[in-house]
Amino acid sequence: MMNARLLLTGLALFGALIMGSDQGRAQQLHLDPAKVMGPDACGECHKSSIEFWKGSHHFSTFKALPRKKEARSIADKMGLKRIKAGSDCLSCHFTSAMVKGKVKPIAGITCESCHGAGRDWIKVHSDFGGKDVKAENETAAHKAERYAKSEAAGMIRPSKLYKVAQNCYSCHTVPNEKLVNKGGHAAGSKFELVAWSQGEVRHNVWYSKKNQVSPIARLRMMYLVGRALDLEYALRGVAKATKKADYAVKMAKRAKKARKRIKAIAKLIEAPELMAMYKAAKAAKLKLNNEAKLTAAADTVARHAQAMADKYDGSTFAGLDPVLPKPKKYKRKK
Ligand code: HEC
Ligand code: HEC
Ligand code: HEC
Ligand code: HEC
């Protein structure tokens, strides 16, 4: 049974409820399965993106995860029989779609996990104005309209850095108290957007074929917006903490560190949003059962992060270059 509602928390997670899971418990998926097209549909045109994606953990987790001892042990502690059947693992490790009227995991973390479920925009985003019109002949007005329509239909374009990166943090901070405390799952990744996006995840193969590292100004913006998102999602994580245990301790540590980093970055570049973010975060106590205040602080951080992503292009932020991760730190598949 499907029953869709949007979360009020500002999380990028889509609030699709699946009932009748192993325990009959409700849980959230990252995308609305009714709108998911699956990676094969994207691959019809984006063949080389698919090739790069196949070399990532996002692809391999689909088959590899259920076979891992560590995964079995987490599932046992959570009381889950099958990792892929209506379990708490689906929201982050898998993409689900409707298959013969039922919600089913069809792949790992896919194109749509980051670019939005495609059903309502897949046609419009690639239509330059009729069958015979090529990209170079598209009018400026048509292009603007195409992008606007695609985004209104749920497409997350790479140029919308805050939105596309929000996805990463909604999974990689692991904001699930029970999964961490009871299941013994890692309390999030040591995630930094430049290092984590420029290794195995990189697929800059559409506008040029070479899969080059993103330009320096873009890397600076990724670093900046990524650090802001880390603070935002750490605050959201602490907001969910109800017990003095591993989850609460680690999330609070994450938030403290993220806050400090924002203050340090504020000294490197000219961007008043940074201290505004820091102050908003500092005003909310990192303690248990403080959801309203912490969520409000996270919302303020989000507003400033989004504003920075819209306002700056990174060209004047050379002050960040010494702190950008070096290429040998880029996360590659091992
Ligand atoms: C029918 C062919 C086709 C299919 C199918 C297709 N795309 Fe595209 N895609 C294109 C074309 C053409 C462009 C270039 C658009 C442009 O130049 O603005 C594009 C551009 C993109 C972009 C970059 C947009 C930007 O703002 O620069 C993303 C992201 C993308 N597609 C994702 C996807 C995903 C995810 C799917 C599957 C759900 C998909 N595409 C399916 C043809 C397709
Ligand atoms: C909120 C998102 C989220 C949920 C829900 C989740 N995971 Fe994870 N999991 C992650 C992330 C992110 C990583 C990657 C951690 C890293 O490498 O930094 C991960 C890593 C793992 C790993 C180690 C991966 C490896 O390749 O060795 C295992 C095992 C695992 N998860 C099992 C599970 C199981 C079993 C469930 C369901 C009970 C589950 N996870 C639910 C986000 C999640
Ligand atoms: C983990 C999240 C993630 C996944 C999975 C993902 N993308 Fe992307 N995609 C991004 C990000 C982030 C960018 C912008 C990268 C940058 O600016 O360096 C991007 C950029 C793009 C672009 C523009 C590339 C260019 O040449 O500039 C296209 C097209 C695209 N993605 C399509 C796809 C398709 C098709 C898939 C599935 C095979 C896919 N993406 C999977 C996050 C993702
Ligand atoms: C839907 C949830 C989800 C989203 C969105 C997501 N990830 Fe992941 N990511 C995971 C999980 C789960 C794993 C661990 C997979 C495994 O090994 O089992 C992972 C693994 C990775 C890895 C490999 C880590 C390692 O240990 O080597 C990288 C790199 C990565 N993600 C980067 C990104 C980036 C960059 C983005 C955003 C542009 C992103 N991810 C978005 C869930 C997600």
pLDDT digits (tens, 9 = 90+) for 190-219: 999 999 999 999 999 999 889 999 999 999
Q: What is the pLDDT of residue 88?
A: 84
Is 78 in the same domain as 181?
Answer: no
Distance 232 CA to ligand 2 centre (A): 21
Q: What is the pLDDT of residue 27?
A: 53
**Residue 326 CB neighbours (<10 A):** 8
Is 214 in the same domain as 271?
Answer: yes
Are 52 and 59 within 8 A, CB to CB? Answer: no
- 29 ligand 2 Cβ < 6 A: no
Is 62 in the same domain as 198?
Answer: no
Is 233 in the same domain as 325?
Answer: yes
Residue 159 predicted with pLDDT over 80: yes
Rounded-to-integer distance, Cα 318 and Cα 334, Å = 32
Rounded-to-integer distance, Cα 232 and Cα 277, Å = 9
Is 94 in the same domain as 124?
Answer: no
| Neighbour-count burial of 40, counting CB atoms closer than 10 A to its CB (0-12 exposed, 13-18 middle, 19+ buried) | exposed
| Domain that residue 144 falls in | 120-153
Residue 230 predicted with pLDDT over 50: yes
Are 154 and 148 within 8 A, CB to CB? Answer: no
Rounded-to-integer distance, Cα 263 and Cα 259, Å = 6
- 70 ligand 2 Cβ < 6 A: yes
Among protein residues, the one whose CA lies closest to atom 2 of ligand 1: 45
Distance 334 CA to ligand 4 centre (A): 14
**Residue 211 CB neighbours (<10 A):** 14
Q: Which two tokens stand for residue 57?
A: 């953990």
Is 27 in the same domain as 140?
Answer: no
Mean pLDDT of 101-120: 97
The angle at the Cα of 217, spanning 135 to 330, to the nearest 5 degrees, equals 100
Instruction: Work out whether the CA dihedral 298, 149, 49, 16 comes out positive or negative.
Output: positive
- Boundary-marking domain end, from 101, 135, 153: 153
Provide, rounded to the nearest whole percent, the portion of the chain with pLDDT above 90: 89
Q: Choose which residue among 114, 160, 196 to substitute to test ligand 3 binding: the one with the highest number of ligand atoms within 8 A of its C-beta.
A: 114
What is the separation of C-alpha 257 from the centre of its chain, rounded to a whole number of angstroms? 20
- 274 ligand 2 Cβ < 6 A: no
Is 126 in the same domain as 76?
Answer: no
Rounded-to-integer distance, Cα 208 and Cα 214, Å = 11
Q: What is the pLDDT of residue 312?
A: 98
For 182, what's the count of Cα atoms within 13 Å in the CB-facing half-sphere? 12
- 8 ligand 1 Cβ < 6 A: no
Among protein residues, the one whose CA lies closest to atom 11 of ligand 2: 172
Q: Choose which residue among 21, 168, 174 to substitute to test ligand 2 binding: the one with the highest number of ligand atoms within 8 A of its C-beta.
A: 174
Among protein residues, the one whose CA lies closest to atom 3 of ligand 3: 114
User: In which band, very low, low, confident or very high, does the pLDDT at 87 lie, cut at 50, 70 and 90?
Assistant: confident
Rounded-to-integer distance, Cα 322 and Cα 326, Å = 9
- 65 ligand 4 Cβ < 6 A: yes
Is 201 in the same domain as 141?
Answer: no
- pTM of the predicted structure, to 2 decimals: 0.94
Is 128 in the same domain as 184?
Answer: no
Distance 27 CA to ligand 2 centre (A): 16
What is the separation of C-alpha 137 from the centre of its chain, rounded to a whole number of angstroms? 34
Q: What is the pLDDT of residue 9?
A: 33
Amino acid at 245: A
In the chain, the number of structural domains is 3
User: In ligand 3, which atom is closest to the CA atom of 42?
Assistant: 35
Is 166 in the same domain as 310?
Answer: yes
Nearest to 167 by CA among 126, 226, 214: 226
Is 180 in the same domain as 312?
Answer: yes
- 111 ligand 3 Cβ < 6 A: yes
Are 95 and 84 within 8 A, CB to CB? Answer: no
Is 178 in the same domain as 32?
Answer: no
Mean pLDDT of 226-241: 98
